[in-house]
Structure 1
Amino acid sequence: MTLEVIAKDPQGLTNKALIIIHILDVNDNSPIFVKPLYTDTIKENTPGGSSIVTVLATDADPGLNGKITYSIKGNYVIDKNDLGDLLFQVDSESGLITVKHKADFESHTFIKFEVLATDGGGRTGSADVEVTIEDVNDYRPTFVKDFFNLEVPANIKVGSHVVTLRATDNDSGQS
């Protein structure tokens, strides 16, 4: 902003001074996410590096105070088991969330975590991300052992019960 100040003495002589005012930004705005909740569904065999969703936050402050970086807050809410390692990562500049490594439906079917947007002045905003994991048939059926040795009499009737074998499959449901 500029101001011009004019001084005038009683005899009518004048002089001018130019004042330039620089308004310095105060980091008075926190980042705000466009949506409070981002959701997506992935298959449990989605490979590492695959894109999930892009989060977006804005900050009304200009310059450095309005520059946003993204991070994942290290707490997850999971439906079944504790998740030892984070399955997702976020690009600090773009907000793109990608798969870090494959999920396992049999361990967790739903994951919720918090993404932070931090501006250059240290103010933060947050949004939740919920990812549903879909099952795929990724386990083979297994028998208790690989080899069975049976003795059957030569005169057994056709259709007689000889043996019952049981196989298990670590996939959930019908997979």
Structure 2
Amino acid sequence: MSTAKKFLTTFINKNPRNLEVTKVQRRPTGWDFEKKKDKKNFYYKATLATFKNHIDAYITHFENGVVLTASTREPLISQQLHSPVDVSAAYNIGRVLADRCSQSGILWCIPATDGEEVERSERKKAFYGALKAGGIKLEEPESIEHSHENDPNFTWKRFTIKHTREDKLDENPLIRK
């Protein structure tokens, strides 16, 4: 008795993060004239928010918003802390968030603040240090350029621009001031 096996002719990917992890999906680039364009364009961004009585940390996805959080208001975390707002609390929140990121498959994110602000704040330095110690890279990888080599529907090749003499002139003689 022989049984014929059928194979799927089309494959439906049900993992929404697959293109991000394989670096095929490009993150939104925005406009070239935006201020701090590299901080506004990201896959994941790690933010530390300090308040009077607690510290919150969260990971933000560029499409879905906040995907992971950790806070000193959580009872299991606050029971283990001496103070919910000091440097050790920020470090421990970073450890918890790094663990939650690694469990959910997030391997990289960018800091929400620039390097100068991190150097001035002991809490932020401890938080991002704990993320780094937890195995989270604080930089995002470059995406693969969209071309005919990785997309069969991409039918044209990029045209190289060859400049003419008029393009190379500093001042166009046809334009009078």
Question: TM-score scaled to structure 2, two decimals?
Answer: 0.20
Question: TM-score scaled to structure 1, two decimals?
Answer: 0.20
Structure number with higher relative contact order (C-alpha < 8 Å, ≥ 6 residues apart): 1
Higher helix share: 2
Which of the two has higher C-alpha Rg?
1
Higher strand share: 1
